[in-house]
Amino acid sequence: MADDDDDARPWEPPFAGTEVDHVLGALDRLRTTFRWKADGLDADGLAARVGASTLTLGGLLKHLALQEDHASTARLRGDPVGEPWASAPWDDDEDWELTSAADDAPEQLYALWDGAVARSRTRFAVALAAGGIDQPTNLTAPDGTHASLRRLLCDLIEEYGRHTGHADLLREAVDGRTGEDPPPGWRPSS
């Protein structure tokens, strides 16, 4: 990729950088690709399903918003995750974020995901500045070992990798959109 493409593709990870640059770059590239796959759809598009699967792009927007907020609060510092997650009826429906998305307007789903990603970026940037990628987090293993911040970020990369693949299939079924990356200069429209 030519250097002049960097401004047109701000989601592209650095070609050469620090470990933190690469981890955050990989996460942001997946976030951007996922958002592009989900972008610009109405309620029917966000509720479309493929085959027997119950997954929808709207459900994935809400699920990944939860993952962002959970990783950057409870798992990072042990802080409460906040609304709408705190008062969700998890005891009645452990997949509430996936199933309840059908009741949300597209604008709500996009705003929920966009807001969660913005909060997560800020919280992780503050944590990285304060203690680096090797610092222990609140997430612990059964033996009491604390996960590093690197582990939390890699877990989010894994979560996005899995669900961006789902989003590829769902979006193609909705309107035929395919591709690995957004086109140069792309910005969310919704």
**pLDDT at residue 48, as a whole number:** 97
CB atoms within 10 A of CB 91: 7
Report domain extents, the chain.
Answer: 18-175
Angle at 43 between CA 41 and CA 48, to 5 degrees: 80
Q: Which CATH number fits domain 18-175: 3.10.20.600, 1.10.287.3510, 3.40.50.720, 1.20.120.450?
A: 1.20.120.450
Cis status, amide bond into 89, omega within 30 of 0: no
**pLDDT at residue 5, as a whole number:** 58
**pLDDT at residue 3, as a whole number:** 47
Burial of 56 (0-12, 13-18, 19+ CB in 10 A): buried
Q: What is the pLDDT along the chain (190 residues), one digit of tens a residue?
A: 444 556 777 778 888 899 999 999 999 999 999 999 999 999 999 999 999 999 999 999 999 999 999 999 999 999 999 999 999 999 999 999 999 999 999 999 999 999 999 999 999 999 999 999 999 999 999 999 999 999 999 999 999 999 999 999 999 999 999 988 898 888 999 8
